[in-house]
Amino acid sequence: MENFENNKKSSGQLIKPLQQGLIKAIASLRKDGGDIKKRYVIAKSMLALGRLIATWKDVVGIVLASHTYPYRLIKGKLFLAVSDSQWMQTLTFLRSEIISKLNNVFPDMKITEICARVGVIPEEVKRNIEESIWPDWREEPITEVKGVKDKDLAEGIKRCCQKSSARIKGLTDKGYKLCIICRAVPTRSSDGVCAMCLYKSQESTRLKAMTLISEMPWLTYEEVSESGIELSELEYNHIKEELYNASDSLINELGKDLLIEFDEDTFAQLQKEITRAIILRTGCLPDRVDLSDIQSLEFFDVRWNKYLKPFMGEGD
């Protein structure tokens, strides 16, 4: 019976942040004076935050939702309170995944960044999540802790074991299974691999792909796939874009150095880097890149031409 009451309360509490956002938004709009446009922007982001809080659990999953709390949203920057440094670390692995998930669910919010810091997760959020999902940890069997002399510490460890086993039980009821790779993180993904393990394996694939494309920037998506690296076309394009940006900033650094003082090696490196950047953008083969063709260079970046021109010899 008590449980039923709790459930009723928890669904009501989920709506609460949305209402609070709305009330604050209206109140701030009503206030006289000030910049109406600015107020409108604030009100809009408060509403967005309310929507986000209300669905946070579904977006990031219950495990993460009980350790993180979105408290501010400004110009696509989402501010998160995180329960402790360990979860901060977990979050760094999941950051990009969360951002893309959020943008799927809330394309209008255009979230580009997550700023996390250790902070307080509101008690009601924690209680809400724990009570609605996990069996009472106090009813879990007690594991005896051996070798720990400090009484309080031993008690603490016992409690942790109980809570952890209740959590796993609760998640299993919800269809979660322990990750088949790390055997530690409960997951509901169809392949049985948790988000962290998936991220790690994706990272190593990504790294392989990145090295390959960096060495042979003319490779097409099909050619990279044929080499046995499994990645999506979107990831392939993303890697190329990232490499291009890295080349671009290196070009600007080298170019600025050259303009200060000419140096053969720097010039050779600059030419190589510009060639790479052009290949990354166009997919053409190295022998098709003509660095004396000013117009094509300016198509990419006007500055490149400025760096090259004084040193290109008689060609131009």
Q: Which residues bind Zn ion (CB under 5 A)?
A: 179, 181-182, 185, 194, 197
Q: Which is nearer to Zn ion, 91 or 194 (CB)?
A: 194
CB of 183 to Zn ion, least distance (A): 7
* Nearest alpha carbon to residue 199 among 92, 109, 108: 92
Q: Which is nearer to Zn ion, 88 or 181 (CB)?
A: 181
Separation between Cα atoms, residue 102 and residue 76, nearest integer Å: 11
Q: In what order do the strands lie in the sheet with 77-82?
A: 68-74, 77-82, 113-118
CB of 176 to Zn ion, least distance (A): 12
Q: Which is nearer to Zn ion, 90 or 132 (CB)?
A: 90
Q: Which is nearer to Zn ion, 170 or 186 (CB)?
A: 186
Q: Which is nearer to Zn ion, 161 or 185 (CB)?
A: 185
CB of 290 to Zn ion, least distance (A): 50
Cα dist. 176→28, 62, 188 in Å? 43, 11, 5
Q: Which is nearer to Zn ion, 87 or 304 (CB)?
A: 87
Q: Identify residue 106 by its one-letter amino acid code.
A: F
Separation between Cα atoms, residue 219 and residue 227, nearest integer Å: 10
Instruction: Check the CA dihedral 146-151-153-154 and report its sign.
Output: positive
Q: Which is nearer to Zn ion, 192 or 286 (CB)?
A: 192
* Nearest alpha carbon to residue 78 among 198, 235, 51: 51
HSE of 254 in the Cβ direction (CA atoms, 13 Å)?
22
Cα dist. 142→48, 106, 131, 169, 171 in Å? 44, 43, 20, 15, 19
HSE of 173 in the Cβ direction (CA atoms, 13 Å)?
9
Q: Which is nearer to Zn ion, 46 or 193 (CB)?
A: 193
CB of 291 to Zn ion, least distance (A): 48
Q: What is the 3-state secondary structure (H, E, C) of 270-311?
A: HHHHHHHHHHHHHCCCHHHCCCCCHHHHHHHCHHHHHHHHHH
CB of 198 to Zn ion, least distance (A): 8
Instruction: Check the CA dihedral 3-55-13-74 and report its sign.
Output: positive
Q: Are 156 and 185 in contact (CB under 8 A)?
A: no
